[in-house]
Structure 1
């Protein structure tokens, strides 16, 4: 049991998948001990978005450990075996694992780990001589190595930041309180997977019989997730290494072209929405009274108090209009920002501005922060370098590989093999004959 001002090998801040992976992979390694500090009292993984029927967009084999150590006791298959569901899961198929089951897996793994301290809200990370002092609301910890895994924050449009939070809210909070939306006019803004799931959820009447339901996206249409084998090689370790070596302007262009590989909608969800809308016509369902999908349309301002007048602009023609709404759900994604608790050492960190308003700590290939401090002090950043390491950085696909890379760096020798995986696509012309 840790005590006040105890010294720890590694302090990992945040008990999301990234640091759970780090702790699980570190568990059998005697040279290192990882302690996780988590502000919540229990493990929570996107609790506001655990909508019934929502499925994972990645394989459950891209869990906390399997790509790095298939024999680990913390794998998703080990979880299924422990729950006596392995045979049934094999018969059912592992291509449609629900988000609620994956969260249950994360909870199971967290219970097996004995080094997570819940209810520890980190207030500050300070430099004390040749070590860090991590200050929480309860105690202080000393360490030479800290790992950030606090995740991203909801991205709120400027026009929605000062709106009443019960009427205009981010999608991530949808299920955090009971919402009775009967006779309400609801607008969902955002054409990605979360927007699609929420639109389908509200269309089903789960939150009451809506008066009107409108789905608005700036995309030219409601596009499916790009999920072909070749596209999925963007989520291989060697692609991240190639991406890291590109210029800022090149990275920006690449990420723009890759948006549907990370934020397209599952084809099954699109089919379910289309079927629900078709059935609504067949059965002449009365509610919602009015249903509308607007593509190629930007939401640009919000006026009045509920009911609101949401300003819309058709992107191709430039035509503007106002849409009356009682509730606006912002499925507008997430951005990376520098945690407030890093303020004491902020001047020692190098920061880069990334697309979408994100601010990223500049990291090296081993995910160590570029830090102007004592060599003995090392700070690593998990899932906070998408602009530097590529599309997979904030995705589950490379979580075990990144945790393995960090552990190898911390320990100082190779414990997990992090060499490039076999792949079909070549991302570098180095070694190729000829030139263009």
Structure 2
């Protein structure tokens, strides 16, 4: 019976980077299982002209090993784009190119298997390993064994209660799949306050002269707010801040998360500038805009009637209710952690903090019994690890922790004291 040192469930960017670092370093034997047929990264949101909100150094491996074959800079070198990137003079990666870079990396990894849906995990704690059952596309079940498990199933689209299972409404994750059909309508609304909402609104705004739709944007935030991207703000996404955050009592951590919202959510300045310029130019000479933008508007009710989506909003400052109707709605309402039912069932006996898994600084679940075989969590760690939980730049540092822990040695350097601010 073959027992791997690690089995990773799911293959998004976090596990992809881990798989690349493990294969290249030869640290130990690992296997990553993905139910899809190939690696894909948010295919419904690869809008032309959009960029990541993190710098190119926050690729899959650089913070662990800048000399790796799998760095973004080496990807550019391999594709003869290094001089063009130099002339490009931008720090952020185009989203479409990041997806191509990730797929290029995935194509070279031998420790990843696709079309393998994990359906159960059984803890053989007396023997120090886990039994992982996989369902193949042919309907057959296959069993694998590992000393450690890592859950990297990412997030899933979130819709507010009034918007669930409503015809004519799509989550932003499906935008590119529906946008051509939606643009044939008389009216389209975007609901949401973050970067995805802004990018979709801008994309539809640019296309509007060639169509007849009225375009609306509703957000419950107090304004169309810019992401805090100052240099000091970026120090919240460092190992030092994660150390500090994790040591806080759970009540303090929950309170701190809301205080950190300004560095975690918001819209890139370039996107806001582009939207405002379009609005200004198009309104020149008194031209009437077919555009509505309304902050402080929270969706309360939604119903379909006579081919229209009738929305009731509450203005959060005046507490007044108002109604609007649209043919189509795109809900850019974010994502929530995707923790599979089989995982919750398998590890329901793990320690909890306020109904959430208690996760160690080294990213593994905590149990009442002593064990040498661990279960690592790369999703649903916001309340234990703070701002870094969904930050791509810190994903490599998480992988450093896990690889070093399983190896029992320092395979990759884990830096500390990297901030100018005192956090205590």
**TM-score (norm: length of structure 2):** 0.92
Shift of 1:372: 5.2
User: Match of 1:106, SS?
Assistant: helix
User: Match of 2:149, SS?
Assistant: strand
* Match status 1:132 vs 2:138: no
CA distance in 2, matches of 1:217, 1:7: 50
Cα separation, partners in 2 of 1:283 and 1:362, compared to 1, 3 Å: farther
Shift of 1:343: 4.1
Contact preservation (8 Å) 2:192, 2:220: yes
* Match status 1:323 vs 2:324: yes
CA distance in 2, matches of 1:148, 1:208: 45
Aligned to 1:115: 111
Shift of 1:323: 0.7
Cα separation, partners in 2 of 1:173 and 1:70, compared to 1, 3 Å: same
Q: Deviations over 1:71-126 (max 9, x none)?
A: 11111111011111111101212323211111111111111211111111111112
Aligned to 1:67: 63
User: Match of 1:174, SS?
Assistant: helix
User: Match of 2:153, SS?
Assistant: coil
**TM-score (norm: length of structure 1):** 0.90
Shift of 1:207: 11
Aligned to 1:202: 204
Cα separation, partners in 2 of 1:373 and 1:122, compared to 1, 3 Å: farther
* Match status 1:158 vs 2:161: yes
CA distance in 1, matches of 2:22, 2:212: 49
Q: Choose 21-30 or 221-230, whichever is displaced more.
A: 21-30
Q: Choose 273-282 or 169-178, whichever is displaced more.
A: 169-178
CA distance in 2, matches of 1:380, 1:364: 9
Cα separation, partners in 2 of 1:34 and 1:421, compared to 1, 3 Å: farther
Shift of 1:383: 3.6
* Match status 1:314 vs 2:310: no
Cα separation, partners in 2 of 1:372 and 1:248, compared to 1, 3 Å: closer
CA distance in 1, matches of 2:337, 2:76: 33
Q: Which of the numbers 39, 44, 48 marks the counterpart of 1:52?
A: 48
Shift of 1:336: 1.8
Cα separation, partners in 2 of 1:185 and 1:373, compared to 1, 3 Å: farther
CA distance in 2, matches of 1:303, 1:80: 49
* Match status 1:143 vs 2:139: no
CA distance in 2, matches of 1:143, 1:184: 55
Aligned to 2:139: none
User: Match of 1:304, SS?
Assistant: strand
Aligned to 2:9: 13
Shift of 1:344: 3.8
Aligned to 2:298: 298
Identify unmatched segments of 5+ residues in structure 1. Answer: 354-358, 429-436
User: Match of 1:391, SS?
Assistant: helix
CA distance in 1, matches of 2:110, 2:72: 18
Q: Which of the numbers 278, 281, 300 marks the counterpart of 1:279?
A: 281
Shift of 1:382: 1.1
Cα separation, partners in 2 of 1:94 and 1:290, compared to 1, 3 Å: closer
Shift of 1:178: 6.0
Aligned to 2:334: 333
Alignment root-mean-square deviation, CA: 2.1
User: Match of 2:396, SS?
Assistant: helix
Q: Deviations over 1:219-262 (max 9, x none)?
A: 11111110001000001110011011112222222221222312
Contact preservation (8 Å) 2:227, 2:262: yes
Work out the number of aligned pairs and report it.
415
Shift of 1:338: 2.7
Q: Deviations over 1:164-183 (max 9, x none)?
A: 2xx12211111235641213
Cα separation, partners in 2 of 1:323 and 1:91, compared to 1, 3 Å: same
Identify unmatched segments of 5+ residues in structure 2. Answer: 137-141
